Amino acid sequence: MNDIQIIIGGAAGDGTKATGHLIGKILNRGGYKVFIHEDYSSLIRGGHNFSVIRGTKNGENCIRESADFLLALNEDSVDRHIGKGGVLIYNSDQVKKRDGIGVPAETIAKEEGAVIMKSNALLGALCKIIGVSWELIGDVFEGFPHSEKNLKVVRRVYDSQEEKGKMKKTKESLSLITGNEAIALGALEAGMENYFAYPMTPSTSILHFLSKIKEAYKINVFQPENEIGVINAALGCAFTGKRTMVGTSGGGFALMTEGISLAAMSETPIVVVESQRAGPSSGTPTYNGQADLNFALNPGHGDFLNLVFAPGDAEEAFYFSNLAMNMSWKYQIPAILLVDKDISESTFSFDKNTLKGVKEWKEKKGRNSKGYHRYRITENGVSPLVYPGGKAVVKSNSYESDEYGISTEDPQMIKKMQEKRMRKERDIKEDLKETIKIYGEGDKVLFCWGSTKGAAIAAGREAGYKVVQILVFNPFPEEKVREAVKGCKEVVVVEANSSGQAAEILKRYILVGRKILKYDGRPFAKEELIEELKK
């Protein structure tokens, strides 16, 4: 089987996410490239949570509309997902008798340790049916909490089922990593020393992940009282020379905008992770959206340069997190890593060879002596950087200033300093080697960005479209975009918002035929997008 999709569903607190990740690890060890989509309500307990685990040989990072197996812990899960087909494996202690495989999951879990283990009882049935060896299961559970008791639960069900397939264990497998974990590791690779954030879904797991590993990496992880405190504390640390990143979602980003304008005027480097969710206002906190693009492109008042990167999977999240940190410090400008819930919280197969494509750039250091010009006017707009603590007097000004950093209202100096800051764009464009990616070929073009990448590539392959992924929105790669559509007869843009924000940006440079938009908080399924393309 080259393509397998499994849904596991239950209430919040039933352990569906943990078991879903165990299934992902099993598929990963079986030679599949894995993608896991998480769907959960903004509730601590109750409601309906489910994970969609897909394993493919060709590495499609998207979900399908149909499932091969449904693992249902309660009646609600059966009712919601049974129409998607596949083999039903259900908790017979909670679900009335159905066509499928009933497992007294709660009874077995209670007898072996704790009711929370019931989701792994369903895992036992799945593993035997698809032919997973007991050795592979044992390997995957190594290090899992209460692994011995959990394995007893799995074994009881595993031994009761009939094998109908065979999954071979591979010698080597890729790592599994969420987008947020990739962002954190990419920034660490670029020399990050501080991470500040106030918890806001879906960026929160960056804070949790870095808190767990801060001792090993010798970094400072801090949660201030709100997002205004976050950006101001981060700018203070960056002013002293510490590479700093902050994370938030749209509502918190709104509170940071004055601080981002301060970073632009004072030329203080800072990286901001903006992980979008469905808005406006509080919106639906645990669901996806891509409606903050225009906001990220205009994150404060006044004219200023800022970088906006939009990765589409974990490998790109790692790379562009690293690049954002390096370029922010090289050019002394704000860099925004624009992701979304389906990048941040989804799990991807991660190729460690991605690490070979990153490097740490050094900022242009000035001479730490008297007569230092913090905002010296240079040909490329980048002034020499010195941090406080030496002989030089280092000024940082939110007002317009002269080269020394002393406030000015002189019209000629105002003009020169604004031109100096904007001059950085020329070299920034030279440094940005990969701003778009192209998949396939043909005279019909499908544009995508962020989390729509996976479904766009999968659907484009079957519907006969060349797929163009935009990775950098600022500075916008207009020449490469024009080249990508040369000779084409149709241009379609797919994105997860109701206004077609990327499509409107593209219209400034090329002719866009139509937009395929989704704004219900859920991701595009492969078949859904194929159907839209064929209309």
pTM of the predicted model as reported, rounded to 2 decimal places: 0.96
The predicted structure's pLDDT at residue 487:
94
- For the domain spanning 436-534, the CATH number is 3.40.50.920
267-313 residue pLDDT tens? 999 999 999 999 999 999 999 999 999 999 999 999 999 999 999 99
- Looking at residue 534, its pLDDT comes to 93
Query: Does this chain's domain 3-158 share its CATH topology with 436-534?
Result: no
Distance, in Å, from the CA atom of 4 to the CA atom of 501, rounded to the nearest integer, reads 34
- β-pairing verdict for 46-56 and 33-39: antiparallel
CATH of the domain spanning 3-158: 3.40.920.10
Q: What's the rounded Cα separation, in Å, for the pair 233 and 211?
A: 17
Whether omega for the bond prior to residue 280 falls within 30 degrees of 0, making it cis, is: yes
pLDDT of residue 446: 98
Question: How many alpha carbons fall within 13 Å on the CB side of residue 39?
Answer: 19
Which pair of structure tokens corresponds to residue 235? Answer: 């700018």
Q: For the chain, which ranges sit under pLDDT 50?
A: none
Sort 158 into a burial class: Cβ within 10 Å, 0-12 / 13-18 / 19+.
buried
- Residue spans per domain, the chain: 3-158, 176-357, 436-534
Query: 176-357: CATH homologous superfamily?
Result: Thiamin diphosphate (ThDP)-binding fold, Pyr/PP domains (3.40.50.970)
Cβ 294 vs Cβ 310: under 8 Å: no
